[in-house]
Amino acid sequence: MPVVVILPNNNSNNNSNSNHNDNNNNNKEGPPDEKLYEYIVEFKSTVDVDKKVKYLEQIHKGVVKYKYKHAVKGYVCKMSKHTIGVLLEDKDVLHIERDGIVNIAIHEPEKITIEEKKSGGEVNSNLLFGEQWNQTITNAVPKLTDDFSSIDCYIVDTGILPTHQEFYPGQVVLGLNAITNAFNSQDNNGHGTAVASVVAGINVGIAVKTSLIAVKVLGQNGSGYYSDVIQGLDWIVATRNRNNPSIINMSLGGCKSTTLNNAVQNCITNGITVVVAAGNSGSDASNYSPSSTGNALTVSAHDINKTRPSWANYGSVVDFFAPGVSITSAWFTSPTSYSQLSGTSLASPIACGIAVRFLATGNYSPYQVKEYFTKNDIYGEIINQGSNSPNQRVYLNTSPIPCVCP
């Protein structure tokens, strides 16, 4: 019998753009004063989701918010305990879990430093590693001949400001806004724009001209819900251009969710590389999602001294470390504004950018991308890497990246 997983709502932040309200409902299956929470129901992969939704709506008067057909099979619905009990008897149900909160993986976001840099001016970056740390990325990474536009990179985040000077005209596509179920995924928080610029910005990015697709799953305060994130992943699997290599960056996280992890894994099974932030709780990343997804590239952070900050998550699910302290990135307040941010949110897109550079050299699977990092990373230099963490940090090879995988 499937198990109901109750995700604790232990975060006081609520997404102001979300309609997830724990209001009373006229569903006749529960007591009149029973609060009805939204639950995510995951079915076996062979299930006809439309038939399951029709049954729920007709028999149990449930109102379905989302139907998932691609990353996972399932739906999201407010339901009573009675309805949950009935669904638990359905042999096609794999999991039922209460919807939970996810947040951006930024450490102390209130300490963001904002500055304006006019187009054409030098933008100093702390993205670089080793002796190059204090150089500008423009001088360290070949830019003029770089063109990674054949790679589709999905930024699952707060949206992107497409008019920022870090992006070429047409480089950013505003994809799904899962919060409103529309296609206006402009950034009103800043986090998604920062992350996108670290992947592919003209001055501060690793892989210039990468095709960026904004998938907005987090609201103005940087919070959202698992159901929105899964909806974003479902849309990616359904609509991606299978002729182009695809990669997803997820600089977000929350408590562990079986269905979210399954959705991430199914993206990987569908040939999409997924890079995720390890999180900033200073604890084992295996307790959180999506960082606990086994085949994702889970990235923790180190500082300029190659030391893991106390807030950076660790553990056996971490694949490697990348710079994540005082990283210069684009900001959303104007086309010329920049920020300096710290968090595994910034380490993840650095790794994502390096993965894009590798994907541009051949048609590689997510498993071959992971093997590339294993063979090309630097070992033995991370200080205080944390229990069971690999002592392994990413290396940005500025010469043409060799094809090391069969």
Provide φ and ψ at 68, rounded to 5°: -105, 130
Q: Which two tokens stand for residue 405?
A: 């995988």
Sheet holding 223-225, edge to edge: 223-225, 101-104, 252-255, 288-289
Nearest Cα residue to 293 out of 276, 280, 281: 276
Distance CA(112)–CA(128), nearest Å, equals: 20
Residue type, 288: Y
What are the tokens at 179?
């919060």
- The pLDDT value recorded for residue 105 is 76
* Residue 182: per-residue pLDDT: 77
Q: What DSSP designation does 91 have? A: T
Q: Which residues are catalytic?
A: 157, 191, 345
- Model pLDDT for residues 279-311, shown as the tens digit of each residue: 999 999 999 999 999 999 999 999 989 999 999
pLDDT of residue 35: 59
d(CA 148, CA 131): 26
Closest CA to 113 of 325, 349, 348: 325
Half-sphere exposure of 151 (CA within 13 A, CB side): 29
CB 350 within 8 A of CB 394: yes
C-alpha to C-alpha distance for 229 and 211, rounded to whole angstroms:
21
Question: 17: exposed, middle or buried (C-beta count within 10 Å: 0-12, 13-18, 19+)?
Answer: middle
Please provide residue 17's backbone torsions phi and psi, each rounded to the nearest 5 degrees.
-95, 0
Residues 156, 198, 115, 170, CA torsion sign: negative
Give pLDDT tens digits for 264-285. 999 999 999 999 999 999 999 9
The residues near 243 (Cβ < 8 Å, ≥ 6 apart) are none
Query: Are 301 and 343 contacting, i.e. CB atoms less than 8 angstroms apart?
Result: yes
Q: Low-confidence residues of the chain, pLDDT below 70?
A: 1-35, 106-145, 397-406
The Cβ of residue 57 has, within 10 Å, a number of other Cβ atoms equal to: 13
pLDDT (0 to 100) of residue 108: 55
State the Cα torsion 72-75-81-83 to the nearest 10°.
-110
- What's the pLDDT at 123? 46
Closest CA to 231 of 291, 181, 266: 181
In this structure, the strands spanning 392-393 and 378-379 are antiparallel
* CA-wise closest residue to 102 among 17, 195, 224, 13: 224
CA–CA separation, 198 vs 317, rounded Å?
A: 23
157 phi and psi angles, rounded to 5 deg: -165, -140
Q: At what angle do helices 344-359 and 191-200 cross, to 10 degrees?
A: 40
Task: Mark residue 144 as left, alpha or beta (left: phi above 0; alpha: psi -120 to 50; beta: remaining).
Answer: alpha
Closest CA to 345 of 236, 208, 223, 192: 192
Q: SS3 of 132, please? A: helix
Tens digits of per-residue pLDDT, 135-182?
333 334 445 457 899 999 999 999 999 999 999 999 999 999 999 877
Give dist(CA 406, CA 331) in Å, integer. Answer: 39
Tell me the CA distances in angstroms from 302 to 239, 279, 308, 333, 357, one per residue in order: 35, 13, 4, 28, 22
Rounded-to-integer distance, Cα 13 and Cα 10, Å: 9
